[in-house]
Amino acid sequence: MNLFVTFLARYQLMNTRPNGSAPTVPTVTPTTLMFFCSFMLMRGFKSAGSVAGYCTAVRQWCLANDRPDPTVNPPTNTIDTRYARLHRAIKRKLGSKATEREPLSIRGLKLILTEIRAGFLVPAGTIPDFTAAILLGFYGMLRISEFTNKLTTDHDTTREACRGDVQFFGPADEPEGFKYRIKVAKNSQFRVEQTITVFRSPDPNLCPVRAMHLLFRTDVRPPSAPLFDFTHRNSNDRDRHVSGARSRFIAVFQNAIRRVGLSTKKIQSHSLRSGGATAYLHAGIDPYIIQRMGRWRSWCWMIYTWTSTNHIKHAMASVANCDDTSMPINADGVRVTLDDVRW
């Protein structure tokens, strides 16, 4: 609010009283906010997000002090059109094009796992945690928030991943797979729990079940404990501080990305989810199955997947093998209008 008050004082917009009392902030209208945006641009603001952030701060101050919402047009009781268009224009002028994220390929996954297992990035005790977390996120097509904790100190057992959320099935020594319970997901606003099933992989270096089972055998903790422990430790003492914070995971994950020669601007933690979907697609899995496994409610997941040269090669080769005797059908004769349909 300091910058907003400076703006009001500079253009003599503060309310003053005849008795000489301290000036007060006037009623803020959409027009006032629009002039405030121009004031920030004249002061050299180069970020559309900063301009929007200061306007949001003014709006929050007005609402906290029982004042009218300055972004709403009183006659229509909706967002002021001029104010919205101004912010859109500022975003187009100052906004930069976001870097296109890339899915993590199988080759990249192998390189990152090899780097982590080498023991140069993390202590030996934490290798099973990072390995199991990466493979779970990739094969399960999980968002990072679905298998890590938000904070480094606190652990919310009602929302965040716990040891008790993993249930193995099959032989005790070599489980066939496990079920993982997701308490809160982005596409489940009403906190409806979702459960995914993860099966063994024939490649022992890329098997999420083997990695998870190894973690549970080498680091035994109660069901209410965080699923993973990303702290730098040299022992698995039960009384130690455990933290599955995503900030710790991201720091190690990005470091591994850099060390294997990939770009951290294009490969991020969400690349595990899109990378898993892309790998399933390249393996020839039916897109409907991928959508169900990834818990997407629509076909939006296709935006985040990449095709491969083998896919394109196969598609072009299939064109030459199509049936040359087939003829296109003119559907005009069978089309009907709604007026012809009797309900």
Percent of the chain at pLDDT exceeding 90: 49
pLDDT tops 60 at residue 339: no
Q: Is the pLDDT of residue 250 over 70?
A: yes
pLDDT for 173-193, tens place per residue? 999 999 999 988 765 545 578
CATH number of 106-304: 1.10.443.10
pLDDT of residue 337: 52
State yes or no: pLDDT of 338 exceeds 70. Answer: no
Domain ranges of the chain: 2-94, 106-304
137-184 pLDDT per residue, tens: 999 999 999 999 988 888 888 889 999 999 999 999 999 999 999 988
Q: What percent of the chain has pLDDT over 70?
A: 90
Q: What is the 3-state secondary structure (H, E, C) of the chain?
A: CHHHHHHHHHCCCCECCCCCCCCECCCCCHHHHHHHHHHHHHCCCCCHHHHHHHHHHHHHHHHHCCCCCCCEECCCCEECHHHHHHHHHHHHHHCCCCCCCCCCCHHHHHHHHHHHHCCCCCCHHHHHHHHHHHHHHHHCCCCHHHCCECCCCCCCCCCCCEHHHEEEECCCCCCCEEEEEECCCCCCCCCCCEEEEEECCCCHHHCHHHHHHHHHHHCCCCCCCECCCCCCCCCCCCCCCCCCEHHHHHHHHHHHHHHCCCCCCCCCCCHHHHHHHHHHHHCCCCHHHHHHHHCCCCHHHHHHCCCCHHHHHHHHHHHHCCCCCCCCCCHHHCCCCHHHCCC
Mean pLDDT of the chain: 87
